[in-house]
Structure 1
Amino acid sequence: MTPQSKNTSSLREQLDKYFTNWKWFTLSLFICFTVAFIYLRYATDTYKVAATIKIADSNKQNINREANTVNDYGLFKREQNSVLDEIQVIGSRSIITSVVEELNLNIQCFIQGSIKELEIYKNPPLTINFLENDSILKYVDTSITLNVISKSQFTFKNSDRTLNFGDNISMPFGNLVFTPNFVQPELKVGKSITVKIRPIKKVASHYNEKIKITSTDVNSSIINLTLEEPVTEKGVDILNELIEQYNKIAIENKNAVVKATSDYINNRLAIVQQELSEVTQSSETIQQSNRLTDLSSQSSIFLQTERDIENQQIATSTELQVVEYLSDYLDENSGNGEIIPSNMSFQDNSTTSLIQKHNDLVMQRNRYLENSSEKNPVVVRLDAQIEKLKQNLSASLDNLISSNQIKLENLNKEENRISSQIYSAPKKQRIFRDLERQKGIKESVYVYLLQKREESAVSHGVSSPNAIIVDSAYASTLPIWPKKEILFLGAFVLGLLIPLTTIYLLDLLDNKVRTKAGLTKELSIPFIGDVPKSSTKQVFIDRHDYSPKAESFRLIRTNIDFMLSNVTKSKGKTIFVTSTTSKEGKSHTSLNLARSLSFSNKKVLIIETDIRVPKLNKYMGVENKTGLGLTNYIIDDKINFNDIINKVDDNLDMISSGTIPPNPAELLMDDKMEVLFNAVKNKYDYIIVDTAAVGLVTDTLLISKFADMVIYVVRANYLDKRQLHVAQTMFDEKRLPNMVTLLNGVIHKKGYGYGYGESPKKKRKLFSK
């Protein structure tokens, strides 16, 4: 047999294991499809609800010029809008808790339908009015089932007490009132209504896990929100409310920043206004007391230079005062929750950057404090970062003050040099000019602060939400689960997989010899044939028997003739029949093989050498008239071998075992055994010897030298594969001559048969043993 044909045969054998068990596949598929149908019948449909938003970039919100000026403070600026941070904020427990409280998601109303329990979300058939404090209801976890017995009365489940709708009913967690709404078609007399109240935190945790918030891309500001919910209206309301709560908190945070800036500017305005009033009053006093008018014309070059210096002095003094005001503000507000106004037109960009970073950290700290305490490790770490930034900012402001003071001192020196050259300018006029310069500085600072206050007021009125709605929440028209196609496909796969796996595992764990392929795979001994298990109680085959069992022995008879063709034809051929253990059918095989050979007009003698447990007389029902057998012949020299031969049928004789001796092995070693075999070989064509099992005793090995062939019987579905090594060892060591194997009791499935003869028809069962 070629390797390709071996592989094909092996594959066919593997497939046959499953095809022959098609009934179990059919039953498994039927059960799995039935379970899938029942699940579809009673399962609750789940729909997908989705919404899409875009996180707005505050640097690009050009609503109007006034709103953009708020960004000059640096309060809303971001170097890069972190969408991942906003995803965490949207899905935070605090915002989802607000959604649960706003929509009363901790209270659910269910009504029993004809098949399953249904949740009624909007316009429930029953309204519950709690008479207790809302803070208590946040922690209630209970389920209440009402049986409506009339339009005015109801009973609780497992209770015979009749109650009226509208009555004040005392419950373990407080008093409440049930008000029915019989306008709703769901509420009918005889219906059961279940109200489930759960703790708000528990419900918030549930939706915190169910709501999925994802970004379409790392660099994209688009965020997708999805939720799987049995009630579509409920899912839509949850996502819409989630977006609304997020925008509400974002606007509140922005307004808080603007208010802090406005308060700071108002405080600075009051101080500058007082200083400007004092300078103006001093200027008026000097002018009135000295009767001074405008300065006389001077040399155009000196005057222009002086004016340039004055402008630089004003600008430097203005920046110096703003820096000093900001330094004072930083000293006065030592807490970590205060926002510092930024972008006050400093020439030093590093200071502006430090203020921006400080404000970002303060806003992040305040956001965490909404859901935790100041002892939170994240808040403590942010406090440390804010304190460090304050120290750096204070040092930066001190440097700015020093540099501006030096610059101002240099400008004053330059002004004195120019002023000394204006020899015609009176001293009092110079004093007046100094006062005017101070007045100009104060006015410039005052106008600057007024402008910023107006910009802050405008920004407070036009605060825009962080989330721009791209797609409002919407629900899928078809349920995402359960899906019939997937369930029935899964049922089909499982229906095939269960018997497939079971058969495979049983085959994997199977340690019995069952088929010719299994036997020849384990042994390298020649195979002479197999005998099918008979479907009747008939033990022996008949001359005109054409059953599969009879045909199998005819085939074995032919194979024996072929294998023993080299044996001398003038003498009979001796065939031993043995097995590993008892009950493998060696006696049954010996008898039927002997009968099959006798049907071919050959003289056949069957000798029973299994003198420990003799069975042939019992099987054949032959009467031993003399009462003598093999053991009697060996013990008593007066007995001739012809005296122990009993006729069974035409061409078939038998020598039974005789009296059971205490020393069977020693008897079989007697020289008279050789005399017996030599004698019967001259008289019979075939001598069939029913021997003892070689796996139990050595009797067969003692007389194996007289055999021309040894048929080693292996009973299918009985012998453990681990015992086959006995037969293989015998073959390898050549302890049994011309050894072949025969598989007995094979169960042939549909399709097996010899095609000859007729057998009685039987009623078929779906699942036969």
Structure 2
Amino acid sequence: MPEYIFTKNATHLNGNGMHDHKPETVTVGGTTTPNYILDRFISNWYLFLIFVIAGVFTAWLYLRYTTPVYKVNAKILVKDDQKGGDIPGQEILQQLEVFSNKSSVDNEVEILKSRTLMEKVVRNLQLYTTIFVEGRIKETEQFGNLPFAVQWIYLKDSLNRATYTFEPAGTEQFRVSGAKVSKTAAWNDTVSLPEGLVKFTKTGLPFSKPAYLIKIAAVDETVANYQKLVDVRIPNKQVSTIDLSLSAKIPEKGEQVLNDLLDTYLRASVEDRNRIADSTIAFIDNRLVIVTQELSGVEKNIQQFKQQNELADLESQSKLLIEGTGDSKKRLMEQQVQLNVVQSLEEYIRDAENSKRVVPSSLLVQDPTFVGLVQKYNTLQLERERLLLSSTLSNPVVVNLDQQLAGIRNDLVSNLASLKRGVQIGISELQRNASSLNQKIREVPGKERVFLDISRQQAIKQELYLFLLKKREESAISKSSNLAIARIIDAGKSDAKPFSPKRSLILLLGLILGIAFPASWLYLRELLSKRVLNKFDITNNNPVPVLGEIGHSADNLLITQTDARNVVAEQFRALRTNLQFVLSDSGSKVIITTSSMSGEGKSFVATNLAAILALSGKKVVLMELDLRKPKISDKLGLANHEGFSTYAIGKTSIDALIKPSGIHENCWLISSGPIPPNPTELFLLERTATLFHELNSRFDYIIIDTAPIGLVTDAQVLARFADATLYLVRQGVTFKQQLQLPKELYLQRKLPKMNIVINDVNTKGGYGYGYGYGYGYGYNEPKRKSVLPGLKKRALTRQ
């Protein structure tokens, strides 16, 4: 069983006879999460059904009369030096290195998006002219399979939109009529229209319609429209492919436009390269004429220079001169060395101290005579030294040897003198030759400089000539084998199904909108309403506990009679049960009812509460203390000549004041009496306190119906006699702003054990969140779902 939690106030009398209230908590049950919004929607299910049907029907109409749009896709591969994607056949151009203009995928994307390229397609296919046929609802564009063709010979650049009606006029003629012109002409004739010159031709197909609409748009406008329809993008940064897509209402037309765009793009790239090749060849031919003349002049200068300086090959002759100078220096150095040797030998032989020594042999002196004399001299000298080992100087043999040695020494001196003169003559000759060679070598740089200058001009002109010849040939070859910068991987092809509108999505959207519109309307209606429409309007930011709810009923004041088994009667029984927890003290019996304004059901709730308490066997008195606008007596059909107002002024006794109510034998009534001029002052009289003291001794419950506390202070004055307060809030009547008043009264504790009772709850409006068990079970009336259980999930605090 769910728990309910009540917070009550223990009541104690203070020294002034007033009640002090101390809070106590009594656990009675549990809480349930409110589901008001869902309940509200369910109660208005017919709105959702109507709007869902309308939404789905509207979606169907949209799908029925909306022209489907197809997606035409194509893919090309672009030569990108950074990402690869080489195109077959470009290896030759790369080897020739003629036109190495770099390309990139990003650049080609921008070219494909360019207006110039699209304008060529529009003009080539004459896309600014569209043909329609009229249907019952809309116009439908026609493409292909037409009985006639429109070809513009000349179209003005600046023109406004124009529409013409085309009708066949017999088998040989046709009629074209517009807003300002109407003409009849024969097939294949040129027709002059305000937009330009146009020719109509037959295609051979039969006319399926009596008339056709021809719409003409400006070229710039058509180009801009098609640019919006074309999407060019790179799949990712790692590839050199480009994906193209075109949105088209007619797949065949979209394929033709996209394929023509690709063909135009490829032709443009080839034409650009051919134009470059033609310009290059023309430039090379002009330069070849000039370079040939200049090269011929330079070659003539070289010829004259060689003839004047007796040069066959300057480089070879210069090399020979340098080699000859080196040989001459080498021979001169050898001769000088030989001269030094001869002089040294001559000095050695002439020196008397060396007369008894052998003459040193020299490899540098190769004269045979000198060599023979040196050998003979050295032999005799050695022989002499051998004889002196055993003989003396006076020995005839030694003396003979000395004589021979002296003669040979003289011969050596003569021979060396002769050699010395020969060497000196050779040295002089070599020195003269070296001077001559040096003179020629000194002349070589000047000649070589002049020759090199002329040769350099010849080399430059010749290299330029050869380069131009080579490039001209390469340009001619490359032009004949020029390839586009890209190749088509997938030609333009339309999808099998249209991508717009999406049938399932549109139907789902219609369904969602059919649900969203009534849901939003119901939600906003309550959100923007100024009056209380549901329990959450009361409980949100309001600490006053809700004690119970009373459903909507007819205008009858009394519905809780003995045999009453309707829903409202059961709600009052639930209110009676909940009051047992609020008035748990045995001395608590006075209940006051009030509200923010008139018309919220205070008299209705007070009367039926008194009746339901009387049905339980309790003695109850109902006090009609709304002295300003009394209703109970009149509704019950009782006389109101005497009542509280006459008692307060001393004209009626207590016994005469208490009258049977006619509701139940345990229920009595104290009517208001005649309306006094000073109702509030009557409540402050001592006789009022005496009345309540007497009533407390006679009755189990005292129900007080007072004036609205939001208008007058009667309820606050009577609150000193009360043990509990029932604050009435009526659905659809009480303003949300007025809920601040019970909140302030509750927080300031101006009324005892204050609780809210919600009146006139409309169960059909989805109010609150419903009873868990339902009141229909076992009763005469059909089952009816009450939407606010009296005390479920609220803490009730007695103040």
Please indicate, yes or no, whether the TM-score normalized by the shorter chain is above 0.5: yes
8 Å Cα contact 1:546-1:756 kept in structure 2: no
Measured in 2, the distance between the counterparts of 1:217 and 1:173 equals 45
Measured in 1, the distance between the counterparts of 2:76 and 2:232 equals 11
Measured in 1, the distance between the counterparts of 2:125 and 2:227 equals 15
Deviation larger for 102-111 or 706-715: 706-715
Q: Using a 3 Å threshold, how does the CA distance of structure 1 residues 201 and 2 change in structure 2: closer, same or farther?
A: farther
Task: Kindly provide the CA deviation profile for residues 567-593 of structure 1, in whole angstroms up to 9, marking residues without a partner as x.
Answer: 349xxx332221121111000111111
Residue 494 (structure 1) aligned with residue 510 (structure 2): no
Q: Which residue of 1 aligns with 2:63?
A: 40
What amino acid is aligned across from residue 654 of structure 2 in structure 1? F
Identity of aligned residues (%): 31
Residue 49 (structure 1) aligned with residue 65 (structure 2): no
Residue 188 (structure 1) aligned with residue 214 (structure 2): no
Measured in 2, the distance between the counterparts of 1:55 and 1:42 equals 41
State the TM-score, normalized to the length of structure 1: 0.72
Matches within 5 A, 1:242-321: 242-278=261-297, 302=320
Task: Kindly provide the CA deviation profile for residues 117-145 of structure 1, in whole angstroms up to 9, marking residues without a partner as x.
Answer: 32222243343455xx6241663421224
> RMSD of the TM alignment (CA)?
4.4
Q: Which residue of 1 aligns with 2:365?
A: none
8 Å Cα contact 2:163-2:178 kept in structure 1: no
Measured in 1, the distance between the counterparts of 2:222 and 2:90 equals 42
Equivalent pairs counted in the alignment come to 636
Task: Kindly provide the CA deviation profile for residues 301-326 of structure 1, in whole angstroms up to 9, marking residues without a partner as x.
Answer: 649999xxxxxxxxxxxxxxxxxxxx
8 Å Cα contact 1:165-1:179 kept in structure 2: no
Task: Kindly provide the CA deviation profile for residues 274-331 of structure 1, in whole angstroms up to 9, marking residues without a partner as x.
Answer: 34545667888999x99x997899889649999xxxxxxxxxxxxxxxxxxxxxxxxx
Q: Which residue of 2 aligns with 1:213?
A: 232
Q: Which residue of 2 aligns with 1:100?
A: 122
Q: Which residue of 1 aligns with 2:351?
A: none
Measured in 1, the distance between the counterparts of 2:180 and 2:781 equals 68
SS in 2 for 1:486: helix
8 Å Cα contact 1:605-1:655 kept in structure 2: yes
Measured in 1, the distance between the counterparts of 2:243 and 2:484 equals 17
8 Å Cα contact 1:146-1:157 kept in structure 2: no
* Alignment partner of 1:578 out of 594, 599, 620: 594
Q: Using a 3 Å threshold, how does the CA distance of structure 1 residues 64 and 668 change in structure 2: closer, same or farther?
A: closer
Residue 88 (structure 1) aligned with residue 110 (structure 2): yes
Q: Which residue of 2 aligns with 1:680?
A: 695
8 Å Cα contact 2:154-2:198 kept in structure 1: no
SS in 2 for 1:10: coil
What amino acid is aligned across from residue 525 of structure 1 in structure 2? V
Task: Kindly provide the CA deviation profile for residues 205-237 of structure 1, in whole angstroms up to 9, marking residues without a partner as x.
Answer: 111222111123335321111111111121112
Task: Kindly provide the CA deviation profile for residues 415-453 of structure 1, in whole angstroms up to 9, marking residues without a partner as x.
Answer: x99994699x9x999999999998787656544432322
Residue 648 (structure 1) aligned with residue 661 (structure 2): yes
State the TM-score, normalized to the length of structure 2: 0.69
SS in 2 for 1:558: helix
What amino acid is aligned across from residue 77 of structure 2 in structure 1? K
Matches within 5 A, 1:537-616: 539-568=558-587, 573-616=589-632
**Displacement after TM superposition at 1:610 (Å):** 0.8
SS in 2 for 1:714: strand
Matches within 5 A, 1:332-347: none
Measured in 1, the distance between the counterparts of 2:241 and 2:715 equals 89
Measured in 2, the distance between the counterparts of 1:421 and 1:682 equals 159
SS in 1 for 2:704: strand
Measured in 2, the distance between the counterparts of 1:161 and 1:212 equals 40
Matches within 5 A, 1:370-409: none
Q: Which residue of 1 aligns with 2:259?
A: 240
**Displacement after TM superposition at 1:697 (Å):** 0.3
Q: Using a 3 Å threshold, how does the CA distance of structure 1 residues 297 and 211 change in structure 2: closer, same or farther?
A: closer
Measured in 1, the distance between the counterparts of 2:144 and 2:783 equals 67
Residue 639 (structure 1) aligned with residue 652 (structure 2): yes
Q: Which residue of 2 aligns with 1:630?
A: 644
Residue 71 (structure 1) aligned with residue 91 (structure 2): no
Q: Which residue of 2 aligns with 1:755?
A: 776
**Displacement after TM superposition at 1:258 (Å):** 2.4
Deviation larger for 743-752 or 710-719: 743-752
Deviation larger for 195-204 or 13-22: 13-22
Q: Which residue of 2 aligns with 1:449?
A: 468
What amino acid is aligned across from residue 103 of structure 1 in structure 2? L
SS in 1 for 2:760: strand
Q: Which residue of 2 aligns with 1:505?
A: 524
8 Å Cα contact 2:80-2:104 kept in structure 1: no
Matches within 5 A, 1:436-475: 445-475=464-494
User: 5+ residue gaps in structure 1?
Assistant: 307-415, 765-769
Task: Kindly provide the CA deviation profile for residues 45-87 of structure 1, in whole angstroms up to 9, marking residues without a partner as x.
Answer: 1111111112235896784887446525xx4243xx3321221
Q: Which residue of 2 aligns with 1:719?
A: 734
What amino acid is aligned across from residue 762 of structure 2 in structure 1? I
8 Å Cα contact 1:71-1:77 kept in structure 2: no
Residue 738 (structure 1) aligned with residue 753 (structure 2): yes
Q: Which has the higher contact order (CA 8 A, sep 6+)?
A: 2
SS in 1 for 2:156: helix
Q: Using a 3 Å threshold, how does the CA distance of structure 1 residues 67 and 303 change in structure 2: closer, same or farther?
A: farther
What amino acid is aligned across from residue 642 of structure 1 in structure 2? D
Measured in 2, the distance between the counterparts of 1:213 and 1:538 equals 78
Q: Using a 3 Å threshold, how does the CA distance of structure 1 residues 646 and 221 change in structure 2: closer, same or farther?
A: same
Q: Using a 3 Å threshold, how does the CA distance of structure 1 residues 43 and 559 change in structure 2: closer, same or farther?
A: same
Q: Using a 3 Å threshold, how does the CA distance of structure 1 residues 20 and 94 change in structure 2: closer, same or farther?
A: same
Deviation larger for 97-106 or 489-498: 489-498
Task: Kindly provide the CA deviation profile for residues 315-362 of structure 1, in whole angstroms up to 9, marking residues without a partner as x.
Answer: xxxxxxxxxxxxxxxxxxxxxxxxxxxxxxxxxxxxxxxxxxxxxxxx
Measured in 1, the distance between the counterparts of 2:94 and 2:125 equals 36
Q: Using a 3 Å threshold, how does the CA distance of structure 1 residues 417 and 456 change in structure 2: closer, same or farther?
A: farther
Measured in 1, the distance between the counterparts of 2:250 and 2:638 equals 86
* Alignment partner of 1:27 out of 34, 50, 54: 50
Q: Which residue of 2 aligns with 1:378?
A: none
Residue 476 (structure 1) aligned with residue 495 (structure 2): yes
Matches within 5 A, 1:116-127: 116-127=138-149
Q: Using a 3 Å threshold, how does the CA distance of structure 1 residues 491 and 672 change in structure 2: closer, same or farther?
A: same
Q: Using a 3 Å threshold, how does the CA distance of structure 1 residues 532 and 278 change in structure 2: closer, same or farther?
A: closer
Q: Using a 3 Å threshold, how does the CA distance of structure 1 residues 170 and 652 change in structure 2: closer, same or farther?
A: farther
Measured in 1, the distance between the counterparts of 2:254 and 2:456 equals 67
What amino acid is aligned across from residue 564 of structure 2 in structure 1? D
What amino acid is aligned across from residue 115 of structure 2 in structure 1? R
8 Å Cα contact 1:66-1:455 kept in structure 2: no
Q: Which has the higher Rg, Structure 1 or Structure 2?
A: 2
Measured in 1, the distance between the counterparts of 2:618 and 2:460 equals 143
**Displacement after TM superposition at 1:483 (Å):** 1.4
Q: Which residue of 2 aligns with 1:136?
A: 156
SS in 2 for 1:134: strand
What amino acid is aligned across from residue 188 of structure 1 in structure 2? K
* Alignment partner of 2:743 out of 728, 736, 745: 728
**Displacement after TM superposition at 1:566 (Å):** 2.2
Q: Using a 3 Å threshold, how does the CA distance of structure 1 residues 177 and 96 change in structure 2: closer, same or farther?
A: closer
What amino acid is aligned across from residue 538 of structure 2 in structure 1? L
SS in 1 for 2:710: coil
Measured in 2, the distance between the counterparts of 1:501 and 1:479 equals 33
Measured in 1, the distance between the counterparts of 2:471 and 2:181 equals 73
Measured in 2, the distance between the counterparts of 1:736 and 1:42 equals 68
SS in 2 for 1:688: strand
Measured in 1, the distance between the counterparts of 2:678 and 2:453 equals 147
SS in 1 for 2:233: strand
Measured in 1, the distance between the counterparts of 2:450 and 2:199 equals 85
